[in-house]
Amino acid sequence: MGDSDKQFTDQLGRPIRDLRISVTDRCNFRCVYCMPKHRFGADYQFLRRSELLTYEEIARLARIFVGVGVRKLRLTGGEPLIRRDLERLVGMLAAIPGVEDISLTTNGSRLTPDMARTLAGAGLKRITVSLDALDDRTFMAINDVSFPVRKVLDGIENAAASGLSPVKVNMVVKKGVNDTNVVPMARFFHGSGHILRYIEYMDVGHSNGWRMDDVMTASEIVTAIDREMPIVPADPNYRGEVAQRWRYVDGGGEIGIIASVTQAFCRDCSRARLSARGNLYTCLFATRGQDLRARVRDPELGDEDLAEFVRGIWRTRRDRYSEIRSEATVSLPKVEMSYIGG
């Protein structure tokens, strides 16, 4: 890394360190808060194959992002394990010098022992599995495709058995939908070696009809768990860690709380997002992305041209949506979560 890269920050002094790569806009679930059936129905036009970035294009862009400061890569979607031969992409990314971490966020539905082994073998370091409830009735009401909890739990165990541990388990908490699962989930994962993380329900995209009343706040979550199994705050693993860590007093491991709504962490946000169609977003709540696909497909442009384009975008970045969220911002147009993967 050259000196200029060390100094390289956006308008609020934040460096670029993480890149989330969405590899597909498709998903086999229809989670009601993310891809509700009434919008993502049978006639919904997903991206055509030619509209998606190829693995070669993603790897080239990732190399360029690493050149401007990125150290961590996360694959997401849609459901990333729907895209064929994902391990090929993992392998290509793992070969990029300077990449310190490659992780994947998945709904866990396709994490067979084979898949988990293949991904780990290709160079995947960590995995996050989303699971919003422990009882089938609630979980199926959320995923809306009758997918059973048991198969996701198997996926978590398969990942851990392949060395992708500790597995992180993400639970988005929505009042009146799965808040009664907060404590049972804590009890279930206590002592398991997996790290359960609770996420405040957010107003992403324009599909989910978000209201503040739907959010079970971080402090409500902590209180509910602490009442049953005492927890104390733990130090962050590194500066800018998104999840607040809490440790069970009895030694049963830790949990994380991602308070994106009530305790925004924009001031440390070092994340860029690359959508499945190759748009670059500098915030989860961005209205507009910058077209990298056209540029990566332009034979006139070399790697340094692309790097300069990315630097130019990052230098002008001022995003801090969660810090300024209000009744007025909730109705602003935003990119759908399933395009950029959270």
Using CB under 6 A, pick the residue from 147, 198, 321, 339 that binds ligand SF4: 321
Among residues 105 and 190, whose Cβ is nearest to ligand SF4?
A: 105
If binding means CB under 6 A, how many residues of this protein chain bind ligand SF4?
Answer: 23
Which one of ligand SF4, ligand SAM, none is in contact with 92 (Cβ closer than 5 to 8 A by kind)?
none
Which one of ligand SAM, ligand SF4, none is in contact with 170 (Cβ closer than 5 to 8 A by kind)?
ligand SAM
Q: Are strands 195-200 and 254-258 parallel, antiparallel or unpaired?
A: parallel
Closest CA to 243 of 183, 168, 182, 184: 168
Under DSSP, is residue 280 helix (H, G, I), strand (E, B) or coil? strand
79: contact with ligand SAM by CB under 6 A: yes
Q: How far is the CB of 179 from ligand SAM (least distance, A)?
A: 14
Contact window for ligand SAM (CB under 6 A) among 73-81, 149-157, 226-234, 263-271: 73-81
Q: How far apart are alpha carbons 199 and 209 in whole angstroms?
A: 17
Question: Can you list the alpha helix ranges (DSSP code H) found in 214-297?
Answer: 218-228, 293-296
Instruction: Find tokens 């990942």 and name the residue.
Output: 159
Give the contacts of 228 (CB within 8 A, at least 6 positions apart): 183, 186, 187
Q: How far apart are alpha carbons 282 and 269 in whole angstroms?
A: 10
Under DSSP, is residue 87 helix (H, G, I), strand (E, B) or coil? helix
Among residues 218 and 296, whose Cβ is nearest to ligand SF4?
A: 218
199: contact with ligand SF4 by CB under 6 A: no
Q: Are strands 195-200 and 231-234 parallel, antiparallel or unpaired?
A: unpaired
The pair phi, psi for residue 197, each rounded to 5°, is: -125, 130
Q: How far apart are alpha carbons 281 and 313 in whole angstroms?
A: 9
Residues 46-85 that bind ligand SF4 (CB under 6 A): 77-79
15: contact with ligand SAM by CB under 6 A: no
Structure tokens at 315: 């230098």
Contact window for ligand SF4 (CB under 6 A) among 176-184, 210-218, 222-230, 280-288: 280-288
User: In this structure, are residues 246 and 232 in contact, taking their beta carbons and an 8 Å threshold?
Assistant: yes
Q: How far is the CB of 88 from ligand SF4 (least distance, A)?
A: 21
27: contact with ligand SAM by CB under 6 A: yes
Q: How far is the CB of 178 from ligand SAM (least distance, A)?
A: 11
Instruction: Find tokens 């993310």 and name the residue.
Output: 34
275: contact with ligand SF4 by CB under 6 A: no
Among residues 91 and 341, whose Cβ is nearest to ligand SAM?
A: 341
Type of residue numbered 250:
D
Structure tokens at 239: 């500066």
**What is the contact mask toward ligand SAM in residues 104 to 143, using x (rule: CB under 6 A)?**
-xxx----------------------x-------------
Instruction: Find tokens 């970045």 and name the residue.
Output: 317
Among residues 96 and 111, whose Cβ is nearest to ligand SF4?
A: 111
User: In this structure, are residues 253 and 195 in contact, taking their beta carbons and an 8 Å threshold?
Assistant: yes
Residues 149-188 that bind ligand SAM (CB under 6 A): 170, 172
Binding site for ligand SF4 (CB under 6 A): 27, 29-31, 34-35, 77-79, 107, 130, 265-266, 269, 271, 283-285, 319-322, 338
Binding site for ligand SAM (CB under 6 A): 27, 33-34, 76-77, 79, 105-107, 130, 170, 172, 199, 201-202, 204, 208, 337-338, 341-342
